[in-house]
Chains A and B, each alone.
Chain A
């Protein structure tokens, strides 16, 4: 325990300062006033893998580490859509996941955001046209924002999320 304490004090905080707004690569947020007011300081995220290659997931999981530390902004990953304010959907939506995704969206209490992550999620990306996919996320549920990239870097993800919360507007 003491070793822990010493290590923690010795190394200090390794978290980087937040990314400036200019580094956002692509964003199409449709925000309503209520959302910025409600989610400005607290946004709980349920991540849904609708059929991705897991590249996006690896980048997303990078967000929780000490380096990017998304919790400092009031962002938090939760275990159930009932607890979520935001669905973070990755990948093209495969036919098998389309219904599950729709149900997840239904299971999330209003008001809620849907943020699609990765090129795939916009239109199927490199999987577009495959017999196995039902299209982009927007073909199944209403999408509020898309964070592009294949995969998007954690920095871009963070910037996109913060923008969705309305924090970068201020």
Chain B
């Protein structure tokens, strides 16, 4: 049953990919079903941008669904919502009017809500075939020890609740913005909005509403709070889709809003997008660094990558405002490229994390280790994904970050000094993000897969089954292909960006091998780099072999002659992140506590030491808690109105009548 559903989803993905590609290459069409719903009926339309996103959803769905066949096994829960989720996501970029959009958007939210909450409904057999979790005999570092399923259920419920609240708050903003726009323009069709004359104030108001709504779906800081809760709570194939594709639909909305519906954008929109992107990128990766729940770590990286996408988009908007159309195309194409790349490598990483979680029964990195020998395939794919997401050449993350850098560096052509400084901030932020992401994935891969296993669960881990490996391999292939083939991908994305900006001059030079950025500025050939790296790595190997220098002996790790070597002596994820925690403590606002329990006889005989070092989530503490507290207080006060006495209600009715008579 579930197999059928996931196979259907994969087939749907293939279909969507084909339709999307045709749209991406210039096919346009409109389908209207006027009788289905009021307010203009259901209407779907295809253009290049919609084609890009539909293709993205399709291509991401195929491997993820194949993986799900192996991952979910006979577990039926979530199979149907999953199919609905895929269909709803495909419908969002195609929606051509407010009604269609609202239906698709809400369906997507509802289906993903069901998928997130799935573990809460039934606390058993979450991971069929997983070995007994948390049999860590030596140390008790796992937060899940004992009552794991109860813990899972509670976590899933909480996550789903936060997710539902945030999704609906965002939806309210979207709906308000869209209805205002419909009222002012007299049409609910998106295509009619472009030509509407609006006062700057009205435009700004609509922009703020729509941008807030879309940004909350995209997980832009500080609207990200649902994301690190919902991603880990969902099953891994769902996380892969949510992170790889669903949050991109928020990005899709931002593209439409800032470039099409109510464009051309004034400078401050571009500045806002660029700054929000920079903050999301840096803060997202900083939170990821101190996170030791493998899936939460990846969720924070989604925030980071959305930030990087927004940096490219913001640069594009600013260039467009300055009349530099060619450069705007560069920035937007970079953003689109990163969107596709993130879907590939984040999908891959979530699938890899899912394989690990399934095999070890925990998401806590501190009890993993040594998996490279037990799950070699998963490890190799995860490593590839880690290289890609850390923007290391020659894989795909590097290409899009390189393009984003080129767009930012071109800001030397922007005449306005203030905007120039915004670009400088974006540049520095992006560079810092790149370095920190690299650091974070050294931790994620190194602690999870390398060295010695830190628990019995990790020691007895087994490789993922074939379907799951197939799903991962397809995404790994996508990472390599997108990394080595920018000369094919970028011109197509240039067309999409050209459609959005109205810039039609040919923008990409070079041949199949090299990608030239306009204006003799810079060029890139990841293909050449990859070949060169391969040759330069193999030549010394061959030379050494040829000269017979291959002597190797295996002996224990050097531990200063220590007699006992256990996995407790290796570096932990916490220790690894410690320098960052100290350097950036202004962000983490850590709370330390050291408890030493001494023997009653003498304080020099220590029985136990407990050291607690917690980082706080600033957004939650400073924004959401006061907000929800205030909301709570207000409702508490309003509750006084509901006294329950019939007489009082009669007075209310009377008062209402009088008021209406007076006003009327």
Chain A residues at the B interface, C-beta cutoff of 8 Å: 80-82, 97, 99-101, 103-104, 106-107, 109-110
Interface check B33, CB cutoff 8 A: no
Of residues 558 to 581 in B, which have CB atoms within 8 Å of A's CB atoms? Answer: 558, 560-563
A99 contacts which of B551, B558, B560, B563 (Cβ < 8 Å)? B563
A100 contacts which of B551, B555, B563 (Cβ < 8 Å)? B563
Smallest beta-carbon distance A89→chain B, Å: 12
- Which residues in A have their C-beta under 8 angstroms from that of B553? 109-110
B558 contacts which of A82, A97, A101, A110 (Cβ < 8 Å)? A82
* A80–B558 CB distance below 8 A: yes
* A100–B558 CB distance below 8 A: no
B561 contacts which of A103, A109, A110 (Cβ < 8 Å)? A103
Q: Type the 1/0 row for B174-206, where 1 means its CB is closer than 8 Å to any CB of A.
A: 000000000000000000000000000000000
A13 to B412, CA, bound (A): 52
| Interface residues of B, count at CB 8 A | 9
* B563–A106 CB distance below 8 A: no
Interface SS, A side: helix
Given contacts A100-B562, A103-B556, A107-B555, 16 further A-B contacts (CB under 8 A): A80-B558, A81-B558, A82-B558, A97-B561, A99-B561, A99-B563, A100-B560, A100-B561, A100-B563, A101-B561, A103-B561, A106-B555, A107-B558, A109-B553, A110-B551, A110-B553
- Which residues in A have their C-beta under 8 angstroms from that of B563? 99-100
Q: Type the 1/0 row for B538-559, where 1 means its CB is closer than 8 Å to any CB of A.
A: 0000000000000101011010
- Which residues in B have their C-beta under 8 angstroms from that of A101? 561
A107 to B560, CA, bound (A): 10
A-B pairs with beta carbons under 8 A, tally: 21
- Which residues in B have their C-beta under 8 angstroms from that of A107? 555-556, 558
A107 to B553, CA, bound (A): 10
- Which residues in B have their C-beta under 8 angstroms from that of A97? 561
Of residues 129 to 170 in B, which have CB atoms within 8 Å of A's CB atoms? Answer: none
Nearest B-chain residue to A100, judged by Cβ: B561
- Which residues in B have their C-beta under 8 angstroms from that of A106? 555
**Could you name 16 residue pairs across A and B whose Cβ atoms are closer than 8 Å?**
A80-B558, A81-B558, A97-B561, A99-B563, A100-B560, A100-B561, A100-B562, A100-B563, A101-B561, A103-B561, A104-B561, A106-B555, A107-B555, A107-B558, A109-B553, A110-B551
- Which residues in A have their C-beta under 8 angstroms from that of B560? 100
- Which residues in A have their C-beta under 8 angstroms from that of B561? 97, 99-101, 103-104
A100 to B561, CA, bound (A): 4
A147 to B551, CA, bound (A): 31
A80 to B553, CA, bound (A): 16
A106 to B562, CA, bound (A): 13
- Which residues in A have their C-beta under 8 angstroms from that of B558? 80-82, 107
A17 to B562, CA, bound (A): 40
A101 to B561, CA, bound (A): 7
- Which residues in B have their C-beta under 8 angstroms from that of A82? 558
A81 to B560, CA, bound (A): 9
A106 to B563, CA, bound (A): 13
A80 to B551, CA, bound (A): 19
Nearest A-chain residue to B551, judged by Cβ: A110
